[in-house]
């Protein structure tokens, strides 16, 4: 391995560790708005030789999303460890095909037409607890559920992640989108994020270097601009000591609040970011849209910023609800709602 500098936008230079592998290609698109790649020739054969029987074709992504919505992945593989995740991502980088890393499948709406290229379902769940000073905390691989990690830390008497107990995504998703709840967020406790770049290098970024903002990060911003397709491998969180009974009681309060205020069943998650000084759910409700349905997709009657699948909903119907809610709120209140979720796959312009 070797150490080499890597420049961030804005000129900051970070130190990275190079993996012993050929460089990949930067700027791979995650499949948003791209033409479907024809992989039937050597690419298909290369993927099959790489993954063997683990490679699936035309696999419905509705099986892997929290809303149970989504068309087929051209190719799909499951990564059960951080090493397997690294190897799978590098396969896509080397072949120069679109790559999507999918964790719990929350906060994404996958198009009915599906996703071109390779989808890697991240099931890397290794955890290392650090219970002795001065490095009290936890290191978790990116495919583990952030909510389960929060509860496990509480059981160990490690405080600081209780806010995440009701967050439906993975550790990697929490890092990517700066997940937050109950006055806490990823930025408040992250010490290092391990990020695999398309050229085969691994960055170790601090919270400051991650460029966290409200439900966003440097990774999310760059990916949206099609300049970076990086993979979160693991994250380290700084925690403190407290009584397990105190921490678990706090978590139960958060769980009870979620049950009172958020709809059960198949949901994408919070649809829109809260605008400054207001709440997206309040605006959608005030616009008279709570309970509106298109097909089997519904704006929840419990919380208007949650759109739910009432059974066999199509992504195009959810998208129509999104567009209708944005247009109505803009017309009635002059507020432009910004998506918190991401649109994944092949969407008509």
270 catalytic, yes or no? yes
Q: What gap in Å lies between CA 319 and CA 308, rounded to an integer?
A: 12
Q: What gap in Å lies between CA 293 and CA 273, rounded to an integer?
A: 21
* Contact of 229 with 223, CB cutoff 8 Å: yes
Q: What gap in Å lies between CA 311 and CA 297, rounded to an integer?
A: 8
Closest CA to 83 of 234, 304, 275, 291: 234
Of 82, 217, 270, 300, which is the active-site residue? 270
340 catalytic, yes or no? yes
Site of tokens 């593989």: 77
* Contact of 81 with 126, CB cutoff 8 Å: yes
Q: What gap in Å lies between CA 244 and CA 261, rounded to an integer?
A: 26
The string of DSSP letters for 271-288 reads: -BPPPTTS-HHHHHHHTT
* Contact of 304 with 288, CB cutoff 8 Å: no
Instruction: List Cα–Cα distances, 270 to 13, 257, 304, 305, in angstroms.
Output: 34, 15, 9, 6
* Contact of 197 with 4, CB cutoff 8 Å: no
Of 215, 229, 298, 346, which is the active-site residue? 215
Residues designated as active site: 215, 270, 340
């Amino acid at each position: 391995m070797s150490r080499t500098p890597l420049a961030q936008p804005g000129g900051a230079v970070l130190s990275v560790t190079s993996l012993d592998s050929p460089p990949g290609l930067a700027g791979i698109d995650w499949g948003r708005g791209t033409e479907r790649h024809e992989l039937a020739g050597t690419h298909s054969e290369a993927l099959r030789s790489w993954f063997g029987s683990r490679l699936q074709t035309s696999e419905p992504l509705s099986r892997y999303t929290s809303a149970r919505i989504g068309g087929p992945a051209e190719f799909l593989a499951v990564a059960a460890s951080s090493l397997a995740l690294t190897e799978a991502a590098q396969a896509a980088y080397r072949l120069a095909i679109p790559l999507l890393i999918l964790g719990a499948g929350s906060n994404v709406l996958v198009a009915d037409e599906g996703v071109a290229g390779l989808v890697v379902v991240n099931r890397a769940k290794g955890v290392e607890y650090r219970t002795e000073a001065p490095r009290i905390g936890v290191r978790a691989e990116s495919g583990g559920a952030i909510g389960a990690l929060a509860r496990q830390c509480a059981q160990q008497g490690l405080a600081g992640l209780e806010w995440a107990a009701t967050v439906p995504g993975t550790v990697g998703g929490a890092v990517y989108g700066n997940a937050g709840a109950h006055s806490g967020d990823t930025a408040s406790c992250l010490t290092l994020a391990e990020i695999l770049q398309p050229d085969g290098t691994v960055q170790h970024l601090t919270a400051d270097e991650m460029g966290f903002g409200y439900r966003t990060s440097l990774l999310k911003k760059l990916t949206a601009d099609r300049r970076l397709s990086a993979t979160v491998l693991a994250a380290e969180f700084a925690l403190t000591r407290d009584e397990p009974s105190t921490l678990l009681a706090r978590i139960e309060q958060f769980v009870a609040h979620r049950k009172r205020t958020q709809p059960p069943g198949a949901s994408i998650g919070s649809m829109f970011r809260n605008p400054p000084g207001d709440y997206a759910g309040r605006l959608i409700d005030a616009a008279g849209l709570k309970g509106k349905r298109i097909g089997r997709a519904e704006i929840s009657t419990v919380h208007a910023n949650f759109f739910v699948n009432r059974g066999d909903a199509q992504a195009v119907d959810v998208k129509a609800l999104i567009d209708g809610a944005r247009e109505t709120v803009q017309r009635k209140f002059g507020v432009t709602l910004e998506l918190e979720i991401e649109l994944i796959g092949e969407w008509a312009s």
